[in-house]
Amino acid sequence: MLLAISSNPWLDALVRLGIVALLLPVGVIWLTWLERKVIGRLQQRLGPMRVGPYGLLQGIADTIKLITKEDVRPVTADRWVFELAPFVIVVPVIMALAALPFTAEILVRNMALGLFYIVAVTGLSIVGMVMAGWGSDNKYALLGAVRAGAQLISYEVPLILTAVAVAMLAQSMNLQAIVGAQHDTPFIAYQPLGFIVFSIATLAELYRQPFDIPVAESEVVGGATVEYSGIRWSMFQLGEFASLVLFSVLGSLIFLGGWTWPLDPDGLDGSIQALLMVVKVAMFIIFFMWMRGSLPRLRIDQLMALCWQVLLPFTLLQIMINGLVLAYDWPDWTLTALSGAGAAAMIFVVYQAARREGVPLAPSAGPQRVGSVL
Amino acid sequence: MARETLIPAERDLDTIDIDVNVGPQHPATHGVFRMVITVDGEVVRDLDPVIGYMHRGNEKLPENCDFRQVIGYHDRTDYLAQFNTEHCWVEAVEKLGGIVPTERSQYIRVILAELNRITSHLMFFGAFGTDAGLFGTSFMYAFRDREYVQEFFEEITGERMMYNYYRPGGVAWDVPENFKERCNQILDRIRSGISDLEGLMIGNEVVLARCRNLSPMTPEQAINWGLSGPLLRSTGLAHDIRRAEPYSIYDRFEFDIPTGTTGDVYDRLLVRLKEMTESIRIVEQALEKMPEGPIMAEGMKRILRVPAGEVYMRVESPRGEYGVYVVSTGVDKPYRHKVRGASFCNISALREMSVGHFVADVILILGSTDIVLCEVDR
């Protein structure tokens, strides 16, 4: 595979990153097709069927359309902020991909602190969203960007803490070592609670239903990207789907056992490893698309409440459980039992909260402006 | 634990409210409705509905038309409940002219009007799901079932949207021979469609969390604002014109009037869902009792001249009380023609229902009023 491209490490890394950057748009074009197909099937439609067999070339047709479209910039937009924002969104994702191994051999760089680096770098893309919202000089975009900021900063916290829990178990931040630690049992079996929190936080990070509040079509009409068109808009799309892949691969690595489990890691050659990863990543991606097709959207205060009142305490609980089990050297099954009980408790809390007869949400009294805007 | 809106009581920073213009081109405004909302962060401080983008003189135009030509204009006021609005007009003309429609045509009218109520509510569920953030799934499910009924209407009337089928004294032509079988097929489809929608939306945790206790209305408030239809019934008042002031042959059928308890958005959903089931009941009974016979009253002239006088006729359309006020001077055209649109009255309470809520909730509240802009602006 990609074992040794060059003896010069810098050149080697550059070539590998170049290959990733080239493959990314192709993958994203295909993923948009897949998403339209999956959601189409969920909605009893066929999805795209006209361009190519089963609409397979639809993504390419869309890309051609987007490239040839006029690139409109509002007159009142803050020019450089507006024009740089799409790149600020995409670059962190590609930076994160530089540290993300797909299999033991297909990778750009094996970093000792790979997990730490990835969660640190992906958090940067929020800057791009806020830049887009601010630079567009559009109220919808501003609302969307403020929502995106609040949401991303909140959900980074449980996401990072689940990564901490994983690192505790694996005793390493190196993704290769984390995968190696799971060769007989994946971490999802040891910490189902952490896995559920990770999945929910990832949905929020990717702005997917039920957390698509920053890009809500029926409220802020696409949020920060509302003024973008043509190739600039497709950069946002690229960033969105690239992070979808990124988080799916990350989830497969740190919870589903990556390229080792359930097969014997020693006798595996590269293509079987890759196949195993493709299956696991596809499970994540289909799960995200499935959520998009079947759940409505939460409100911003409910989103915050879920994050700070449910996800965060339960993630801390997971870390505590891990710490106890590791410190006192309890058997492995206690970890599974405690974390499973925690997961059940979390699901119960959310289930009860959704069905609780709350106090009617009365309109808040406040200074109201008299007279009409017209 | 009391939940409260998360608004800090004292602010460290000075903030300003901004006006956000929602519509007339906006995915959540159901047509060309526009509202200017003043937001303080995410909280709506003021809301100013702007209507009139769809005004076509739909009340004045019929005053230059023959009594039968007006039917087409009533299709165009509420384009989701055309049979209900046509029903109102022909009943008004019959009341004014002392025309007695035939038995068979009355049954046909009731069956089609109730099926039309179901299509309208299906449309509501589809659109409401989209407002709530479902990525088109509820829309496609609701439209699948709506399409069956729509095709059935097309078989009968030859039109997909502007049916123009009811006539003073009866209906334009008889229904096809396989009417009853087709009706039963469609009812089966609708039953399974309703349970699909119920599973998708009513029991959904996110819908529960979003809609329950959102913008509750008391019966007094609802009456003061002149609300009608599902919005009024969701507050707990069992007021349905089909029961309160039976028109046509509605006094012959058994049906319940679904009511809510608190008048919140969730109750409005539930009331509409149950109303579809009640409509199915009415259609079933009507199909059983439907007689053979003529479909047009005896002695109808080619040019209809109704005696001088005035009449106000109201029916229960899917959105509420749809009324028409007609003054005739004895010639072949109405002298005055005034429509009371349920959507227009329901939308008037929007500011009261919305101020103080979050932006996302205002979209839901607007969606739950189920307005048709053609009926608002006329």
Number of structural domains found in chain A: 1
DSSP-based three-state secondary structure for A121: helix
Q: Quick check: A362 pLDDT over 60?
A: no
What average pLDDT does the segment A190-197 reach?
90
Bridge partners for B170 per DSSP: B167, B296
Which residue of chain A has the CA closest to B2?
A: A359
A139 vs B: CB within 8 A = yes
Q: Quick check: B1 pLDDT over 50?
A: no
Rounded alpha-carbon distances, angstroms, from residue B155 to B77, B152, B189, B191: 23, 5, 17, 21
Question: Residue A170: inside a domain, yes or no?
Answer: yes
Phi and psi, residue A206, nearest 5°: -95, 5
**For helices A332-355 and A312-328, angle between their N-to-C axes, nearest 10 degrees:** 160
Q: Which token pair is B160? A: 């997909």
Burial level of A79, CB count in 10 A (0-12/13-18/19+)?
exposed
Contacts of B130 in chain A (CB under 8 A): 217-218
Whether A264 contacts A172, CB under 8 Å: no
Q: Quick check: A6 pLDDT over 80?
A: no
Q: Quick check: A374 pLDDT over 50?
A: no
- Work out the number of other CB atoms within 10 angstroms of the CB of residue B245: 14
Percent of chain A topping pLDDT 90: 10
In this structure, chain A runs to a length of: 374
Whether A333 contacts A312, CB under 8 Å: no
Find the CB nearest A296 among B41, B42, B210: B210
What is the pLDDT, as a whole number, of residue B280?
Answer: 92
User: Which of B:280-309 have CB within 8 Å of A?
Assistant: none
B204 vs A: CB within 8 A = yes
Q: Check B45 against A363: CB less than 8 A apart.
A: no
Cα B238-B240-B241 angle, rounded to 5 deg: 150
Phi and psi, residue B93, nearest 5°: -65, -40
Whether B58 contacts B325, CB under 8 Å: no
Q: Quick check: A90 pLDDT over 80?
A: yes
User: Which is more confident, A362 or B227?
Assistant: B227
Q: CA-CA distance, B184 to B192, in Å (whole number)? A: 13
Whether A173 contacts A167, CB under 8 Å: yes
Residue A306 DSSP code: I
Find the CB nearest B207 among A45, A221, A296: A296
Phi and psi, residue B315, nearest 5°: -130, 165
What average pLDDT does the segment A191-198 reach?
91
Q: Quick check: B17 pLDDT over 70?
A: yes
In the block, residue with structure tokens 């049906």? B255
Q: CA-CA distance, A143 to B44, in Å (whole number)? A: 13
Find the CB nearest B356 among A42, A363, A372: A363
Find the CB nearest A221 among B4, B26, B210: B26
Phi and psi, residue B166, nearest 5°: -75, 150
What is the pLDDT, as a whole number, of residue B13?
Answer: 67
End-to-end CA distance of chain A: 67
- pTM, full prediction: 0.86
What average pLDDT does the segment A342-358 reach?
81
Contacts of A301 in chain B (CB under 8 A): 5-6, 42, 358
Q: Which token pair is B90? A: 């022909």
What is the pLDDT, as a whole number, of residue A196?
Answer: 92
What confidence category does residue A373 fall into, taking pLDDT thresholds of 50, 70 and 90?
very low
What is the pLDDT, as a whole number, of residue B302?
Answer: 84
Contacts of A299 in chain B (CB under 8 A): 209-210, 358, 360-361
Q: Quick check: A130 pLDDT over 50?
A: yes
What is the pLDDT, as a whole number, of residue A248?
Answer: 92
What is the pLDDT, as a whole number, of residue A18?
Answer: 85
The helix or strand, by DSSP H or E, that contains position A249, with its residue range, turns out to be: helix A230-254
Q: Which token pair is A234? A: 């497709």
Report the Cα B91 to chain-centroid distance in Å. 18
For chain A, what percentages of helix, strand and coil (3-state, to nearest 5) are there?
65, 0, 30
A309 vs B: CB within 8 A = no
Interface size A-B, in CB pairs within 8 Å, comes to: 152
Question: Residue A374: inside a domain, yes or no?
Answer: no
The sign of the dihedral angle between the CA atoms of A261, A267, A273, A276 is negative
DSSP-based three-state secondary structure for B324: strand
Look at residues A225, A360, A213 and name the one whose alpha carbon lies nearest to residue B42.
A213
Chain B interface, best mutation among A221, A297, A346, A374, by max B CB count within 10 A: A297
Contacts of A362 in chain B (CB under 8 A): 356
What average pLDDT does the segment B179-188 reach?
90
Sequence-distant (≥ 6) Cβ neighbours of residue B359 within 8 angstroms: A143, A219, A220, B20, B37, B39, B42, B43, B44
B147 vs A: CB within 8 A = no
Sequence-distant (≥ 6) Cβ neighbours of residue B208 within 8 angstroms: A354, A355, B266
User: Which of B:172-201 have CB within 8 Å of A?
Assistant: 200-201
Residue A311 DSSP code: I
In this structure, chain B runs to a length of: 378
What confidence category does residue B111 fall into, taking pLDDT thresholds of 50, 70 and 90?
very high
Mean pLDDT of chain B: 87
What confidence category does residue A62 fall into, taking pLDDT thresholds of 50, 70 and 90?
confident
What pLDDT digit, counting tens, does each position of B23-79 carry? Answer: 788 887 777 888 888 888 788 888 888 888 888 888 889 898 888 889 988 888 888
B2 vs A: CB within 8 A = yes
Question: Residue A27: inside a domain, yes or no?
Answer: no
Which residue of chain B has the CA closest to A139?
A: B20
Chain B interface, best mutation among A295, A346, A370, A374, by max B CB count within 10 A: A295
Q: Quick check: B7 pLDDT over 60?
A: no
Q: Quick check: B10 pLDDT over 80?
A: no
Q: Quick check: A372 pLDDT over 60?
A: no
Q: Which token pair is A67? A: 């490239």
Q: CA-CA distance, A361 to B263, in Å (whole number)? A: 12
What is the pLDDT, as a whole number, of residue A94?
Answer: 86
What is the pLDDT, as a whole number, of residue A4?
Answer: 61
User: Which of A:69-98 have CB within 8 Å of B?
Assistant: none
Q: Check B3 against A359: CB less than 8 A apart.
A: yes
**For helices A270-294 and A192-205, angle between their N-to-C axes, nearest 10 degrees:** 70
Residue A64 DSSP code: H
Q: Check B209 against A209: CB less than 8 A apart.
A: no
Question: Residue A260: inside a domain, yes or no?
Answer: yes
Question: Residue A17: inside a domain, yes or no?
Answer: no
Question: Residue A257: inside a domain, yes or no?
Answer: yes
Q: Quick check: B2 pLDDT over 70?
A: no
| Burial per residue of A177-194, b for 16 or more beta-carbon CB atoms within 10 angstroms, e otherwise | bbbbbbbeebbbbbbbbb
Q: Quick check: A74 pLDDT over 70?
A: yes
Mean pLDDT of chain A: 84
Q: Check A364 against B5: CB less than 8 A apart.
A: yes
Which residue of chain A has the CA closest to B20?
A: A139
Phi and psi, residue B275, nearest 5°: -60, -35
What is the pLDDT, as a whole number, of residue B175?
Answer: 87
What is the pLDDT, as a whole number, of residue A357?
Answer: 61
Interstrand relation of B43-50 and B34-40 (parallel, antiparallel or unpaired): antiparallel
B52 vs A: CB within 8 A = no
DSSP string, B241-299: HHHHS--TTGGGS-------SS--HHHHHHHHHHHHHHHHHHHHHHHHHPPPS-SB-TT
What average pLDDT does the segment B270-287 reach?
91
Percent of chain A topping pLDDT 70: 92
Question: Residue A5: inside a domain, yes or no?
Answer: no
What average pLDDT does the segment A134-157 reach?
88
In the block, residue with structure tokens 């059983």? B288
What pLDDT digit, counting tens, does each position of B294-321 carry? Answer: 888 888 888 888 888 899 999 999 998 9
What is the pLDDT, as a whole number, of residue B110?
Answer: 92
Q: Check B356 against A366: CB less than 8 A apart.
A: yes
Cα of A369 to nearest chain B Cα, Å? 7
Q: Right CATH number for B58-377 from 3.40.50.11540, 3.40.640.10, 3.50.50.60, 1.10.645.10?
A: 1.10.645.10
User: Which is more confident, A363 or A100?
Assistant: A100
What is the pLDDT, as a whole number, of residue A363?
Answer: 46
What is the pLDDT, as a whole number, of residue A267?
Answer: 62
Whether B33 contacts B4, CB under 8 Å: no
Largest CA distance in chain B: 79
Q: Which domain holds residue A290?
A: 72-353
Q: CA-CA distance, B142 to A290, in Å (whole number)? A: 19
What confidence category does residue B118 fall into, taking pLDDT thresholds of 50, 70 and 90?
very high
Contacts of B3 in chain A (CB under 8 A): 358-359, 361
Q: Quick check: A266 pLDDT over 70?
A: no
Question: Residue A158: inside a domain, yes or no?
Answer: yes
A296 vs B: CB within 8 A = yes
What is the pLDDT, as a whole number, of residue B271?
Answer: 92
Look at residues A148, A164, A154 and name the one whose alpha carbon lies nearest to residue A309.
A154
Sequence ranges of the domains in chain B: 58-377
Q: Which token pair is B47? A: 């809301």
What is the pLDDT, as a whole number, of residue A367?
Answer: 41
Q: Quick check: B238 pLDDT over 50?
A: yes
Find the CB nearest B262 among A39, A221, A360: A360
Which residue of chain B has the CA closest to A217?
A: B27
| Burial per residue of A17-26, b for 16 or more beta-carbon CB atoms within 10 angstroms, e otherwise | beebeeebbe
Q: CA-CA distance, B148 to B163, in Å (whole number)? A: 16
- Work out the number of other CB atoms within 10 angstroms of the CB of residue A235: 20
What pLDDT digit, counting tens, does each position of B135-179 carry? Answer: 888 888 988 889 989 999 998 998 888 888 998 888 888 888 888
